[in-house]
Every structure is written in C-alpha cells, then in structure tokens.
Amino acid sequence: MKATVAALSARGVTATGAAVDVSDAAALAQWVADSAAALGGLDIVVANVSALAISTDEAGWKAGFDTDLMGSVRMVNAAMPFLEKSKAASIVTISSVSGREIDFAAGPYGAFKAALIHYTQGLANQLACRGIRANTVSPGNTYFEGGVWNRIEQGNPDFFRQALALNPTGRMGTPQEMANAVAFLASPAASFVTGTNLVVDGALTRGVQL
C-alpha cells in the first residue's frame, strides 16, 4: 500500500491509503472521513470488495453479506455527505457476471453480487435528482498474478482450463480492462449514464441483459 501511495504521489497528485475492515461499520466510516479530509472531499466512490464466499454454509452467507453487500452499503452511506457537496458525484459498485447468471459461484457470492446490482440501480433512481450517479461494473473472469484465477491455475489446472475454454476471446480479462470501465463510468464522460450495469467479460456470458 505504501508503495502505491508513493507511486501516485510521485505523479504530483494527492494520494492517501490505509487498510480497513469493511465489515466494521465504525472503522469504515472513519476511513471514509479520513480519506475525504486528506483529499479535500470526495467526488467518486468505488466499492470493490468481496469475501469471495463460495461455501454455502452459514459462515459463507454471513461473510458475503457483511463484506460484499453491507461493505458497499456502508461505504456509500459514509461517503454520502461528501458526495452531496460534489458537482460531479459518482458511485461505482463492483459486481460480477456471477450476479447475472448461474455458474460455479452460485450461492453467497452470486446472490450478493446480484443484490449489489439491484441496490445500485435503486441508488441511481433515488439520487438522480441530487446529481449523484450510480452504476455497476460486472467483470468476467479476471486474471492477474496472485489473484483467484492464478491460484486456481496452480492448484486446479483442469478446472482452470475448463473456465478458460468458456471465454470466446481465448483469454481472461485484465485488471486494467476492468479499471478502464470503472474510470469511464466514474468520469464526466459518462455524465448521462446512471443506473447501468456494465458487463466487461469478453462475451463470456450469453444472457441478454434487458
């Protein structure tokens, strides 16, 4: 984290960073307030958290609820006083293609990612009159060193090959490709885009989004 803050600061921008447990409501609210103080306010909030809860036992459901769903809700709630002061306020939540259709992550992960899409579209409708936009990005399989798919590739190569074969592009996405989508939705370039779920999956999913 310190290295990332240093790299951003070296570009001449104000940067801050600190670890926080998003399932701890008080700690998250303080983290948001501290960030706003360090940055001089907030224009954009990106809720990108997940417990990666795949197990369907009660512990898995609780972890997914506290982190994926409520972590995002708490983040938005804590940031709202600052967003209301912004002239270009934008909220972006990170869901998943698992929130659109049933796949191996059916259960807590997929259910709460679907709930995030519903929650965010509700925000878009409720906050439009206050000039605050809200959108969701739903990434497909995303590969990077140390990530979930990198670990699956090493630990379960047969499953990795099966998953990779589902991608019509012949590859998985990159973090930069997902970040590009978030940057667009969060920016003034998308000033009339609110309430949308932008799927970034290389045509992995086949369902029609209505």
Active site residues: 95-96, 109, 113
195 φ/ψ sector (left φ>0, alpha ψ -120 to 50, else beta)? left
Q: Which helix (H) or strand (E) holds 135?
A: strand 133-139
Kindly list the strands in the beta sheet with 44-47, ordered across the sheet, starting from the edge strand earlier in the chain.
Answer: 44-47, 90-94, 133-139, 197-200
Residue 186 CA to residue 43 CA, distance in Å, equals: 9
Residues forming a β-bridge with 93 = 47, 136
CB-based contacts of 148, cutoff 8 Å, min separation 6: 52
Residue 93 CA to residue 185 CA, distance in Å, equals: 10
